[in-house]
A and B are shown apart, each in its own frame.
Chain A
């Protein structure tokens, strides 16, 4: 199992990638989060269930990656047409938000540990939920907000599936993750279309 320092580094990498790009690279950050979540939940879940959950998580990452690719293509066509790129908060600003969430999470997990749960679960869930909610509040585009929401949902999943590892709840949460990824992809495509239409016309 990971030490606290290793866990903090992995969490910083996973959320930092989401904050840094909020595009294709962010899908890699999400994949790291899903892997970490599987690692933390391994003691309470059967291996086939864990593998199925991980596969669904990677499928969600792939959906968001494709959506980000489509957004990048729209971005390129806008730049070729001489239109300004789609506005987004700066990467440094988002990274600072994640750093703030991380500091708060490390403080809170010592002061208010979740009852009956190991330290690493508490730290990971606080970190992911806080970083996700903060980024969802700060980001402007649908895809960035969706990636942040997936991060927060991962944090919730880590703590909740440790408490309640029934097959139905695992299935419903996994369905929710892939459903959220689909919703984000559809809404992001809609936003890309509506933003690029006036410039093309």
Chain B
């Protein structure tokens, strides 16, 4: 019963949310609540008997359930954050349906079926990415990830067929399919060049689903496909692929000015660590890597939400703007404390409550009142105007005198 509920709830919730998808204040908390329910349901569903879908069993293994709960919690966080930031109206139902497909993929007994569900989930990532400036990025991401998912389907079929018939031709077909499929879905360098533009697209839910969730679910399938690949070749490829991904992500994170892009590159670098873990002792490698990817997912979700909230406050998540905001804040606080110290008045003395232009014996009150007026003006400005104002101040400060 719990398994049926787990697999059907995301789709039912997506359908229920469709009419109210444009009402962000309603759709965001409901989606977050559904994700939290799914996070609780996932461990309970491991005890359920397998569900048979047209002759194919679906059952959630106990070691997969915990990671799916992590993903659900991260998505709940993104939904709550999305309530305050500019997400497309399709994100609420789209992400739920995509997560439902990922749940089905993690529950599928065969890697072939898991790949087919993953391919459908890729289309969901495309829908979550819809925005006026992102159709080309969305199409490219869908194309690349779809190729990876199709390779997974082929590799899964080869892994199943290798146990039944003459294994030699199946391994010949399955080995490249496994390599390319996992490299594309995980985002191993140089196959992971799609990840950074996806992170820059200012659609945190789509970026999370594409970069973190898909790679985690693909990694859960490593053990099913390991029989197709020679262990020594796999170890060497994973080791060098992990190092290259780590270096690429680390260098890439130094270059961009946008916080969301920095997070995307940091996620790629973190993936390198997980891929390095995969090249370790086979008994513990997958578990270590998947655990690392789950933690990475939570961290990325938090950082993407933070970057979107900062972008809404400052007009952009450009690091120059954020640095400018921080520097101004320190200057204002320092100036205020120094002013109060010089005037000999404590803040608790009521100086801050004086109206603007009051000329009593409280010496610093007019200045403080003026500061409050400026603060009110600042609050009335839109996020973009605030961003432009801070950027102008930073640019002016950066110019030589």
Binding site for B on A (CB under 8 A): 114-116, 133, 136, 140, 142, 145-146, 149, 153, 156, 160, 163-164, 166-169, 171-173, 175-176, 179-180, 182-184, 186-188, 190-191, 193-194, 197
Contact A187 B157, beta carbon cutoff 8 Å: no
CB distance from B121 to the nearest CB of A (A): 10
* A179 CB contacts on chain B under 8 angstroms: 120, 123
Which of chain A's residues has its CB closest to B146's CB? A149
* B126 CB contacts on chain A under 8 angstroms: 183, 187
CB distance from B124 to the nearest CB of A (A): 9
Q: Which of the 9-residue segments B132-140, B269-277, B374-382 touches chain A?
A: B132-140
Contact B157 A164, beta carbon cutoff 8 Å: yes
Contact A172 B120, beta carbon cutoff 8 Å: yes
Contact A184 B139, beta carbon cutoff 8 Å: yes
Contact of A191 among B112, B113, B119, B135 (CB under 8 A): B135
B30 on the interface (CB 8 Å rule)?
no
Contact of B56 among A116, A168, A191 (CB under 8 A): A168
Q: How far apart sit A166 and B117, CA to CA, in the bound complex (Å)?
A: 15
CB distance from A152 to the nearest CB of B (A): 8
Contact B169 A115, beta carbon cutoff 8 Å: yes
Q: Which of B112, B117, B133, B172 is most buried by chain A, counting CB atoms within 10 A of its CB? A: B112
* A145 CB contacts on chain B under 8 angstroms: 139-140, 143
* B127 CB contacts on chain A under 8 angstroms: 183, 186
* B243 CB contacts on chain A under 8 angstroms: none
What are the nearest 3 A-B pairs in CB distance? A115-B169, A191-B135, A168-B54
Which of chain A's residues has its CB closest to B161's CB? A163
Q: Which B138-189 residues sit within 8 Å CB-CB of chain A?
A: 138-140, 142-143, 146-147, 150, 153-154, 157, 161, 169-170, 172-173
CB distance from B142 to the nearest CB of A (A): 6
Contact B135 A190, beta carbon cutoff 8 Å: yes
* B170 CB contacts on chain A under 8 angstroms: 115
Contact A142 B139, beta carbon cutoff 8 Å: yes
* A114 CB contacts on chain B under 8 angstroms: 173
Contact A160 B173, beta carbon cutoff 8 Å: no
Chain A, interface SS category: helix
For this complex, 23 residue pairs linking A to B, each with C-beta atoms less than 8 Å apart, are A115-B172, A116-B169, A142-B135, A142-B138, A142-B139, A145-B143, A149-B143, A156-B150, A160-B154, A163-B157, A167-B54, A167-B55, A168-B54, A169-B116, A171-B54, A172-B113, A172-B116, A176-B119, A180-B142, A187-B126, A188-B135, A191-B135, A193-B132
Q: How far apart sit A175 and B204, CA to CA, in the bound complex (Å)?
A: 26
Q: How far apart sit A154 and B123, CA to CA, in the bound complex (Å)?
A: 17
A115-B172, A168-B113 known; A183 vs B142 contact (CB < 8 Å)? yes
Contact A191 B136, beta carbon cutoff 8 Å: yes
Contact A172 B117, beta carbon cutoff 8 Å: yes
Contact of B112 among A149, A164, A186, A194 (CB under 8 A): A164
A168-B113, A179-B120, A183-B126 known; A160 vs B56 contact (CB < 8 Å)? no
B53 on the interface (CB 8 Å rule)?
yes
Contact of A176 among B55, B123, B139 (CB under 8 A): B123
Contact of A180 among B55, B132, B146, B153 (CB under 8 A): B146
B130 on the interface (CB 8 Å rule)?
yes
CB distance from B352 to the nearest CB of A (A): 46
CB distance from B154 to the nearest CB of A (A): 7
Contact of B116 among A116, A149, A176, A187 (CB under 8 A): A176
Contact with A along B257-297 (1 / 0, CB 8 A): 00000000000000000000000000000000000000000
CB distance from A141 to the nearest CB of B (A): 8
* B136 CB contacts on chain A under 8 angstroms: 140, 142, 191
Q: How far apart sit A150 and B55, CA to CA, in the bound complex (Å)?
A: 28
